[in-house]
């Protein structure tokens, strides 16, 4: 069919995934543990901390451990628990993100305090973050953690955020769900936080169909994470529990998909970055549309999703919604940027610190098809549809 749907971001298998799955079946490791789980964790650890791929590896002296889990959301939940977040505590969280960044705060009965974005990376604004911390402390409560997100693969301002965090002694949870393959000053995203999370959901740069990982600073935190993720079983021959646990481990079958996907991660990053370049060229001559790019060479983005900002006043009346609907008519999926959490009905009572940057991004930002499996024919269709829309 010539008019098949062009998706925003769909799974892209490399070919070897099935072999790892077959191995799991052959050895009867059809369980939430086994050789693929261990192997997948090792593959990610090597990638994050001593890899020589184009986006750089770990800084000397940096190290960490990886625990494969059933989702990125589960990883965030276990990070918050290990930072001691409890009922009534406050946790600072980037407002412009997917709800999964904030939901686990509420699972624990804690209160999310949302922070605006800055214009350069679209991520948590260090100035607003500091203003919020001072105000929350003045109101009598020091926040327990900061959740910062590398949105759409663009690293947040790591040095500035870390500077604020260390000034006030508040740990950072790095939400790197969208940023495997990105780096900042040569160090991989997923290796910066006190805890860092990754997602392998179906739409991510690599997938295990569903899955995630928690990156910890050391072996002790890894063991604690596994303990909590496997129903908090005490060391006893019978089933004994002194704490509440969770069933959050990744299946050995899913981890097999992940092992196959790790073999092609660098290719996937290169293909997504090429999609970003394609949009830079496409919109070069269209006034009023800006393709979001990194601020400077300190930032290396996997460009998980390519993002544009549409300025209606300069385009002659085309806004992001008109473009989105026009693409939809052509069976091309695009989406507004994440609707900020402080604008969501479910979080309407949560405190928010900001100056309207995230609101404006939501108003005029659009994510365009960015999959690593898009063909020249797909790009041609996107290009023709965009040109037609702006000619009108
Ligand atoms: C920014 C962000 N955080 C967290 C998550 C949660 O990951 P998962 O879907 O694996 O639970 C996602 C993706 O779904 C995400 O985009």
CA distance 100 to 111: 14
pLDDT at 22: 97
Please check whether residue 156 is in contact with residue 146, taking contact to mean a CB–CB distance below 8 angstroms.
Answer: no
pTM over 0.75: yes
Which residue among 177, 206, 337 has the greatest number of ligand 1 atoms within 8 angstroms of its CB, and so is best to mutate? 177
Report the pLDDT averaged over residues 78-85. Answer: 98
Which residue among 69, 71, 73 has the greatest number of ligand 1 atoms within 8 angstroms of its CB, and so is best to mutate? 73
pLDDT at 1: 46
CA distance 124 to 88: 23
pLDDT over 80 at 235, yes or no: yes
Report the pLDDT averaged over residues 67-77. Answer: 98
**101 CA to centre of ligand 1 in angstroms:** 7
**93 CA to centre of ligand 1 in angstroms:** 14
pLDDT at 62: 67
- Which band of pLDDT confidence, cut at 50, 70 and 90, is reported for residue 266? very high
Q: Which ligand 1 atom is at minimum distance from the Cα of 97?
A: 1
pLDDT over 80 at 56, yes or no: no
pLDDT at 3: 84
pLDDT in tens, 29-43: 999 999 999 999 999
Report the pLDDT averaged over residues 278-303. Answer: 97
Which residue among 148, 151, 198, 201 has the greatest number of ligand 1 atoms within 8 angstroms of its CB, and so is best to mutate? 201
pLDDT mean across residues, the chain: 96
Tokens matching residue 76: 């965030």
Residues 6+ apart with CB under 8 A from 305: 8, 9, 152, 153, 178, 367, 368, 370
- Which band of pLDDT confidence, cut at 50, 70 and 90, is reported for residue 2? low
pLDDT at 342: 98
**122 CA to centre of ligand 1 in angstroms:** 17
* Ligand 1, CB within 6 Å, residue ranges: 71-73, 97-98, 100-101, 149, 175, 177-178, 199, 201, 212
Report the pLDDT averaged over residues 80-97. Answer: 98
Please check whether residue 260 is in contact with residue 16, taking contact to mean a CB–CB distance below 8 angstroms.
Answer: yes
- Which band of pLDDT confidence, cut at 50, 70 and 90, is reported for residue 119? very high
**390 CA to centre of ligand 1 in angstroms:** 33
pLDDT over 80 at 318, yes or no: yes
- Of the candidates 164, 170, 191, the one whose C-alpha atom is nearest the C-alpha of residue 179 is 191
Report the pLDDT averaged over residues 281-298. Answer: 97
pLDDT over 50 at 115, yes or no: yes
Report the pLDDT averaged over residues 88-95. Answer: 98
Report the pLDDT averaged over residues 121-139. Answer: 98
**331 CA to centre of ligand 1 in angstroms:** 26
pLDDT at 171: 98
3-state secondary structure of 366: strand
């Amino acid at each position: 069919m010539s008019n098949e749907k062009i998706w925003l971001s769909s799974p892209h298998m490399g070919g070897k995934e099935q072999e790892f799955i077959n191995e799991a079946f052959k050895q009867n490791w059809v369980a939430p543990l086994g050789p693929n789980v261990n192997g997948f964790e090792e593959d990610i650890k090597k990638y994050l901390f001593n890899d020589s791929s184009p986006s750089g590896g770990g800084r000397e002296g940096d190290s960490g451990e990886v625990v494969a889990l059933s989702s990125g959301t589960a990883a965030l939940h276990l990070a918050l628990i290990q930072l001691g977040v409890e009922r009534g505590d406050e946790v600072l969280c980037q407002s412009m993100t997917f709800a999964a960044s904030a939901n686990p705060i509420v699972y624990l009965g804690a209160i999310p305090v949302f922070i605006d974005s800055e214009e350069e990376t679209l991520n948590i604004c260090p100035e607003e973050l500091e203003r919020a911390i001072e105000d929350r402390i003045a109101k009598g409560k020091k926040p327990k953690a900061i959740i910062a997100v590398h949105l759409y693969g663009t690293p947040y301002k790591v040095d500035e955020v870390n500077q604020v965090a260390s000034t006030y002694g508040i740990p950072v949870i790095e939400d790197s769900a969208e940023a495997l393959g990105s780096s900042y000053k040569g160090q991989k995203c997923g290796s910066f936080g006190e805890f860092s999370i990754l997602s392998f959901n179906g739409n991510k740069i690599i997938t295990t169909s569903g899955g995630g990982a928690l990156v910890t600073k050391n072996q002790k935190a890894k063991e604690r994470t596994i303990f909590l993720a496997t129903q908090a079983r005490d060391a006893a021959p019978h089933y004994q529990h002194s704490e509440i646990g969770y069933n959050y481990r990744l299946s050995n079958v899913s981890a097999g998909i992940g092992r196959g996907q790790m073999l092609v991660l660098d290719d996937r990053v290169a293909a997504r970055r090429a999609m970003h370049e394609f949009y830079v060229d496409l919109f070069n001559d269209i006034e009023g549309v800006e393709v979001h790019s990194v601020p400077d060479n300190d930032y290396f983005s996997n460009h998980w999703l390519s993002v544009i900002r549409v300025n209606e006043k300069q385009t002659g009346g085309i806004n992001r919604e008109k473009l989105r609907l026009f693409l939809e008519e052509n069976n091309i999926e695009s989406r507004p940027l994440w609707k900020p959490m402080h604008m969501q009905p479910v979080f309407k009572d949560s405190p928010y610190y900001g100056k309207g940057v995230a609101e404006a991004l939501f108003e005029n930002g659009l994510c365009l098809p960015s999959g690593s499996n898009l063909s020249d024919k797909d790009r041609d269709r996107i290009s023709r549809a965009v040109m037609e829309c702006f000619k009108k």
